[in-house]
Amino acid sequence: MINLETPRKHRALVDQAHQVAMNMLRPISRKYDQAEHAYPKELDMLAAMIDGLSESGASEGAGATGVRRDTSETDTSVKNGANLASVMSVAEMCWGDTGLLLSMPRQGLGNSAIASVANDEQLERFQGTWAAMAITEPAFGSDSAQVSTTAKLDGDHYVINGEKIFVTSGERADSVVVWATLDKALGRAAIKSFVVEKGTPGMKVERLEHKLGIRASDTAVITFTDCRVPAENLLGSPEVDVKQGFAGAMATFDNTRPLVAAMAIGCARASLDLTRSLLEDAGVEIDYDRPAITQSAAAARFLQMEADLEGATLLTMQAAWMADNRKPNSLEASMAKAKAGRVGSDITLGCVELASGLGYSETELLEKWSRDSKILDIFEGTQQIQQLIVARRILGLSSAELK
């Protein structure tokens, strides 16, 4: 039976993540929001600390690299494993700063892709790399099946050609997980992911985007021109299984969507915590023993936002717990991402409104959090795409039957 309280074995990790968020990330949050594209050098020390924990075996789930699903059939016990630990620690880190969390060395979304799809040899070979993930192209956004970047086998290398946009950590990362098609005629089943290491000839970072939020995180446009990648860098199996279709590549999202939901939860919780303090200073009482309708409009709005955040948190923990226990979680991952992405933006903007002038000014971080949270409802699949996936799963319809 699922228990959604913080598991005892993860409490120390969660507490440590909160301390890091409060003492290391929050103090430099405004600095790197204003210094867009400047690399947060303070994160190097934090990355070294996490590496040390990893080597000691004490950091299960301490970042994006901790989401590989255990497919063993021999252990039938209920697990609170790396997926649950990851979403809980990521939420705490984003309580500090979402953009800085996304800038963490060796904690890129591409690391989750490697953890989800790579075979055992690749997991060992790419251990310690900082991997960005490149999916989106100028011709499409949320419909990942429209990938037009090509990968052609030439001897013992694949030759990649195409352009990717909105690549988080695309300039700073050691490598990029690139989605490309082996054969456009074979449709979705031919889409595979490749690890392209930084410095590979033919791979070029064209520019960095200027953004509304998460400014500490670099977002790149990358082109691939006759970029030769070793064949063994194709993640998972090179075989094109038409029956399996897009499922192999899409398995990545079952792990990364709960992580993005956790980011939204952490950012929203930060806004609520600060707003509660500001309301109390203004003499607004929030009474949990009285119906919201009998309290002030500000208190009632605050209580509603807290309830929405609780729902998002429970959905996210459920999706992660299911992954830890080898249960298919595509539906739950999309539900968590849809709920958390939407209420994250609603809550951070709602907190700006409740704090009035303080919320809109740079005196507090509320306005920054409202900017940061918007991307969490967009990347890794927009709100609309998540709702479409949920509808397909519930109704038992394919993507061709329900568009």
Find the catalytic residue in 163, 171, 364, 380.
380
3-state secondary structure at position 218: coil
Contacts 24+ apart (CB under 8 A), 196-205: 196/160, 196/224, 196/227, 196/229, 196/233, 197/129, 197/233, 198/173, 198/174, 200/227, 200/228, 200/229, 201/227, 201/228, 202/160, 202/226, 202/227, 202/228, 203/176, 203/227, 205/170, 205/171
Half-sphere exposure of 97 (CA within 13 A, CB side): 26
Is residue 284 within 8 A of residue 296, CB to CB? The reply is yes
| R_g over Cα of the chain | 21
Is residue 149 within 8 A of residue 164, CB to CB? The reply is yes
Distance between CA atoms of residues 187 and 91, nearest Å? 36
Q: What's the one-letter identity of residue 233? A: N
Distance between CA atoms of residues 150 and 44, nearest Å? 35
Half-sphere exposure of 153 (CA within 13 A, CB side): 12
3-state secondary structure at position 164: strand
Longest dimension (CA), the chain: 73
Active site residue 60: no
Is residue 268 within 8 A of residue 309, CB to CB? The reply is yes
Residue located via tokens 């409104």: 353
Give the single-character DSSP code of 22: I
Annotated active-site positions, please? 380
